[in-house]
Amino acid sequence: MSEHAVITKGLTKFYGDTPVVRHLDLQIPKGCVYGLLGRNGAGKSTTIKMLTGMIVPDAGEATLLGEDAREMSPATRARIAYVAEGHPLYRLMTINQLEKFTRSFYENWNTDLFDQIIDHFQLSRKRRVWRMSRGQRAQIALALAIAPDPELLILDDPTLGLDTVVRRDMLESLIQLIQKEGRTILFSSHILGDVERVADRIGIMVDGVLRVDAPTDHFKQQVQRVVLTFDKTPPPLPQQDGAPMYGILSDVVIGYRRELTIIGLTDERQQMLKSLNPRVIDIIDLNLEDAFIEYTRGERRPLPLLSGIEKTSKSVAPVTSSTS
Amino acid sequence: MSKALIIKELRETWWLGLLAALLLGLYLFVQMGYQPDVFSLSFRRQVNYQGRLVVPLPYLSEGFRDAVLWIAGGLGLIVGLWQTVSESVQGTWLFLLHRPLSRRSIIHSKLAAGLTVTAVATAIPLLIYLIWAMTPGTHANPFELWMTSEAIVACLVGLTCYLAAFLCGMRDARWYVSRLVPLVPVLFFGFIFFNGVPGLITPLGIATLPVDAILIAAILFAARNRDYA
């Protein structure tokens, strides 16, 4: 039996002529909490929908809990919970009706757990969904997803549009879930603070390409800001192997200072920067949000690929100018 | 098929069936010789200058089959679109299709509920009318069972309308381009029906059955292969 809950090989999707997801190779180990990040239109939701069989890929394959996502059997689907973006629920139903309807499809429906969550969020069972706030709908969607006791939980931007308190409540529910051994969670999110708190591994998609697939801490360690202060106008950056220095995500000159955001600040690169003879070199660690922003913002440009495979190596991840 | 899903679909569409049944019932009531009086909000019996009850020939009066087709076809179109477009608008395809049930079973359950509502809503008033027409002393017209054939064909075309509308809502296409293509056979049937081409009405009823089978196959194909983006 596979040790991975999710495996994709060369997963690709086009909308018209536009590639939305390109050659996605992803492996999520069982028990892992995986945060899928990316800006709007990066391909996160399309990826998740391909995983759940809602979108037909143009190429490649996806396997969930050992079964092809396109041909998933009802038994396997019962082991996977999926909360789609926007928490779609039947608006005319009450919570009681929703529970009754959803429960009828599952053999392992945990009524006590469902009741606990509904009581915890203080939701009125006779209230219809259309009369509820977005946050309350999110809470119901989460309760309905958890009650069948799934092995794999897929959440597409579960905290989108929720206020801070509801977000925190949902996050705590997620953490409780995570504590159950063996459960795998894949979620996409725009709230980097949430991801940092929950995910033990992240993937960052840029223009449909999975650019980063690494443990959360590893990614944060790899992206650093270097501030070089000079006594005069900063000189140009040194060349590396006859090309512009690798791994530079941003380069801003302000007066006598040059601020660089670098992915993979190796000893070699530090020496190269020292060769510019700055008066002071400050190396600043970034939090996940800052690291993500630096990694993904700006115009489309070649970005370094970062894979967690190299996490044990002292050298930085391979850097390439290829966009695919 | 899923009993829970069928119940859910019936709960969401029964009122459409009830409205159609009431509308058809009202029309049939008029056919039984009762004229609505909008001022007194009641019905009065239609009588001629001799004071005799005026009742049109059951099932074959002018405009009868057209009226039945409008109601049955209209109901079919609305129910078919309601069942599919409401899922798309609410985004609940993603919720529904992730239930541990094969996609085929989900669609079968929806179709079973939709066909039931469309068929029952038109059949019940027509059956009551049939009983009335067969009861001696209710009208002074000849009546035989074959006279109901055009109404039955109208109901069958109504079911085809339902399936075509369901396919329209199910397909992944643009409303202003190809989404309404499944309605082409319905328009064809309607053209023949409304023009009353002699000798073609009964074959038309038979022809709806293979068309229905093709539409169901197309619905299942679309449900399996479309993107629920």
Residue in B90, B100, B226 closest to A105 by CB: B100
Question: Is residue A320 predicted with pLDDT exceeding 70?
Answer: no
CA distance B80 to A123: 34
DSSP A61: E
Give the domain range for residue A280: 222-307
Averaged pLDDT of chain B: 88
Q: How is residue B178 annotated by DSSP?
A: T
Q: Does B93 touch chain A (CB under 8 A)?
A: yes
pLDDT at A275: 85
Highest mean pLDDT among A31-35, A49-53, A317-321: A49-53
In a domain, A250, yes or no: yes
Cα angle A324-A222-A239, degrees, rounded to a multiple of 5: 70
Name the minimum distance, in Å, from the CA of B182 to any CA of chain A.
23
| Rounded-to-5 percentages of helix, strand, coil across chain A | 30, 30, 40
Contact B159, B118 (CB under 8 A): yes
pTM of the model: 0.84
Q: Which string of DSSP letters, residue by residue, matches B138-158? A: S-SS---GGGGHHHHHHHHHH
Q: Which two tokens stand for residue A290?
A: 């800052």
A188 has which bridge partners?
A36, A156
Chain B residues with beta carbon closer than 8 angstroms to that of A89: 90, 92, 95
Domain of A36, CATH number, reads: 3.40.50.300
Question: To which H or E segment does residue A62 belong?
Answer: strand A59-64
Is B90 within 8 Å of A90 when comparing Cβ atoms?
A: yes
**B13, part of any domain:** yes
* Mean pLDDT (whole number) for B160-185: 86
Q: How much is the average pLDDT of A208-212?
A: 87
Give A37's strand partners: A204
Q: Distance (Å) from the C-alpha of residue B130 to the closest C-alpha of chain A?
A: 37
Rounded mean pLDDT, A221-244:
82
**Contact call for B95 and A91, based on CB within 8 A:** no
Task: Determine, yes or no, domain membership for B130.
Answer: no
- Listed in sequence order, the residues at least 6 apart from A178 whose beta carbon sits closer than 8 Å to its beta carbon are A33, A185, A198
User: What is the arithmetic mean of pLDDT over B12-26?
Assistant: 94
Among A84, A55, A52, residue whose Cα is nearest residue A67: A52
Same domain, A116 and A226: no
Cα gap A225→A236, rounded to integer Å: 17
Among B117, B210, B191, B112, residue whose Cα is nearest residue B155: B117
Residue A67 above 50 pLDDT? Answer: yes
Same domain? A242 vs A267 = yes
pLDDT band (50, 70, 90) for residue A122: confident
Domain-terminating residue out of A184, A207, A230 = A207
Same domain, A119 and A19: yes
pLDDT score of B100 more than 60:
yes
pLDDT band at B215 (very low <50, low <70, confident <90, very high): very high
User: How does pLDDT run across B22-55, given as a tens digit for each residue?
Assistant: 999 999 988 888 877 777 777 777 777 777 777 8
Quick one: A166 and A287 in the same domain? no
Instruction: Answer yes or no: do B8 and A101 touch at CB < 8 A.
Output: yes
Tokens coding A228: 């070089």
What is the distance between the alpha carbons of residues A262 and A291, in angstroms, rounded to a whole number? 10
- pLDDT top residue among A306 and A56: A56
**B37 membership: H or E segment, kind and range:** strand B34-37
What is the domain count for chain A?
Answer: 2
Report the alpha-carbon distance of residue A52 to residue A82 in Å, rounded: 8
From chain A, the residues in CB contact with B102 under 8 A are 74
Residue A261 counted as domain residue: yes
What is the domain count for chain B? 1
Is a pLDDT exceeding 70 seen at residue B98?
yes
Does any domain span residue A215?
no
Bridge partners of A224?
Answer: A262, A285
- Rounded-to-integer distance, Cα B130 and Cα B126, Å: 6
Contact flag B97-A105 (C-beta cutoff 8 Å): no
Residues A178-194: tens digit of each pLDDT:
666 678 999 898 778 77
B91 touches chain A (CB under 8 A): yes
Answer whether A54 sits within 8 Å of B91, measured CB to CB. Answer: no
Provide the ipTM: 0.82
Task: Determine the distance from the C-alpha atom of residue B42 to the mean position of all C-alpha atoms in its chain, rounded to a whole number.
Answer: 27
pLDDT at B142: 81
Q: Is the pLDDT of residue A318 over 70?
A: no
Q: Does residue A34 have a pLDDT over 50?
A: yes
A146 and A92 co-located in one domain? yes
Least confident interval from A158-172, A278-292, B78-92, B129-143: A158-172
pLDDT at position A315 is 33
Residues of B in contact with A84 (CB under 8 A): 91, 94-95
Give the domain range for residue B99: 3-26+63-121+145-225
Q: What is the pLDDT of residue B171?
A: 86
Residue A313 lies in a domain: no
pLDDT (0 to 100) of residue A221:
82
Q: Are B171 and B222 in contact (CB under 8 A)?
A: yes
Question: Is B217 inside a domain boundary?
Answer: yes
Q: Is B88 within 8 Å of chain A by CB? A: no
- The DSSP-derived string for A209-265 is EEEEEEEHHHHHHHEEEEEEE-SSSPPPPPEETTEEPTTEEEEEEETTEEEEEEES-
Instruction: Check pLDDT > 50 for residue A92.
Output: yes
Closest-CA distance, B3 to chain A, in angstroms, reads: 9
pLDDT at A23: 92
A169 and A21 both lie in a single domain: yes
Residue B32 within a domain: no
Most confidently modeled of A43-52, A214-223, A283-292?
A43-52
Residue A307 has what pLDDT? 59
